[in-house]
Amino acid sequence: TASWGHRRRRRFVERHLAADHRARLELGAAGLQTLNTAVGQVAGAIDASVGAVKALASAGALALVAVIVQPLAALGLAVAGVLLHAGLRPLTGRSRALAAAQADTGLTYAHEIDELARLGRELAVFGSGRAFARRLDATSARFARLQRRARALSQSIAPLYQATTIAFATGVLVAVVAWGGTDAAQVGASAVLLLRGLAYGQQFQTAIHRLRETEPFADQVAELEGRLTPARVVFGDADCGPIESLTVENLAFHHPGAARPVTVDRLRCRRGEVVAVTGPSGEGKTTLAELLVRLRLPDRGEIRVNGLPHFAVHPDHWTRRVAFVPQNPPLVTGTLADNVDLWRGLPRATLVEAVARAGLADEVDELEAGLDTRVGPGGRNLSGGQLQRLALARALAGGPDLLVLDEPTSALDAASEERVRATLTACRASMIVIVITHRASTLAVADRHLVLRRGRLSETTTHDLVG
């Protein structure tokens, strides 16, 4: 059971990593937590299956001996057992329905708990915490009601089976003795064997009930895994080498729910350039950034690096040469060094250099534990600006050839922004830098300025559109 659960969780992680970016976002943390719980429930059903087989085999062996001792009594009691099992099927079906409702309510509650963690600041600011708490309480109360009903039904099946079994057995034995005048010793011996067999039948019935209860969780595992649709393109095994050029031609991508697609007729960037992209909110600038780093795949058109289609590059080579700084970077629970490294096994000196290049070295040096300072839950809190520069250090640590940044200075004060601008200027010689920004001061470091308006990317030579 433990091995099955381990293999299933490992398989799910692999599917999650290979899934389309949008599918991963839609599943979210709540979906992952719910699936982990459901896998545990299904793993318990494997034990129930083994118990059912053992109980059935034991009951069958005892029934065979009883037939040899007294065939008529054995047949009567066996028929009674089958009828009893069939009579309990509606209760088992009801138990499955309650388990299905529990699984659905549990998933809803997991999503709401995830929202509570993400919206804690907003709930406090807007005074809506109590209303949200009532919503959580209603979901929790519904789950508790379903749980009580399921447990009551589960606990009633065993005594009901036992009582009905004894009543059936007594009736059959009385009928056999009265009708056939059979030897009482033989009937008694047969009854003892069959009652023991019916006890195993009770174990079998309990195991079947447990299996029916876990069926909804098995369905939930399959449904959650089914949401992780694989990426539409199988990436190749080419190594593009150091990226000297990035070319985008006739690209289009329509985000679900967006008013219009993001389109790029032609874009060419070379190593040594800083290219800035600006435009009104909601036009798809973040989507464009995700397309450039291969988190999303275009509906049509091509993105080429060094003249090679980007989907032809092996993922290992791609991730070593391309880096992305998102607008809201996540924190890893661990040290500052863990957050910069992100499980890549980079040398300590590389992490120190990346922190310095990101303009975070002075603040790290002031910490007693330096890069070994713990951050995140149970550790030190970071300001928005520190988090943004930590994400920049994470990107620079890998020594990328293509660096895409989504609003890297949006949460920075003037001094920190100046450090980031200096970093972007210093990066110009060694990589292609594409920065999405609304700040005129950040645009000042760019060699070219592009505007994404009405879904179409075009080039401009002024800062007039920033406002």
Predicted confidence at residue 74, as pLDDT, reads: 61
CA pair distance 290, 297, nearest whole angstrom? 9
Q: In this predicted structure, which of 46-50, 226-230, 410-414 has the lowest mean pLDDT?
A: 46-50
Flag whether pLDDT at 466 surpasses 50.
no
Domain 2-227 falls in which CATH fold? ABC transporter transmembrane region fold (1.20.1560)
CA pair distance 412, 409, nearest whole angstrom? 5
pTM of the model: 0.74
Query: What mean pLDDT is reported for the chain?
Result: 80
Predicted confidence at residue 180, as pLDDT, reads: 59
Predicted confidence at residue 305, as pLDDT, reads: 96
Strands 274-278 and 448-453: parallel
Flag whether pLDDT at 49 surpasses 80.
no
Flag whether pLDDT at 2 surpasses 60.
yes
Work out the average pLDDT over 391-410: 92
Q: In this predicted structure, which of 58-62, 137-141, 181-185 has the lowest mean pLDDT?
A: 181-185
In three-state secondary structure terms, 193 is helix
Flag whether pLDDT at 465 surpasses 50.
no
Flag whether pLDDT at 369 surpasses 70.
yes
Angle between helices 89-118 and 184-227 (to 10 degrees): 30
CA pair distance 27, 17, nearest whole angstrom? 12
Q: Do domains 2-227 and 245-460 have the same CATH topology?
A: no
Element (H, E) at 252: strand 245-253
**CA angle in degrees (0–180, nearest 5) for 178-183-188:** 90
Per-residue tokens: 265: 């007729």
The region that residue 308 occupies, defined by phi over 0 for left and psi between -120 and 50 for alpha, beta otherwise, is beta
For the ranges 95-99, 197-201, 436-440, the maximum mean pLDDT occurs at 436-440
Confidence of residue 7 (pLDDT cuts 50, 70, 90): confident
Query: Using an 8 Å Cβ cutoff, are 275 and 450 in contact?
Result: yes
Strands 300-305 and 308-309: antiparallel
CATH number of this structure's domain 245-460? 3.40.50.300
Higher pLDDT, 19 or 88: 19
Domain ranges of the chain: 2-227, 245-460
Flag whether pLDDT at 416 surpasses 60.
yes
| Residues sharing a CB contact under 8 Å with residue 157, sequence separation 6 or more, in sequence order | 88, 91, 92, 95, 205, 206, 209
For the ranges 61-75, 87-101, 224-238, 380-394, the maximum mean pLDDT occurs at 380-394
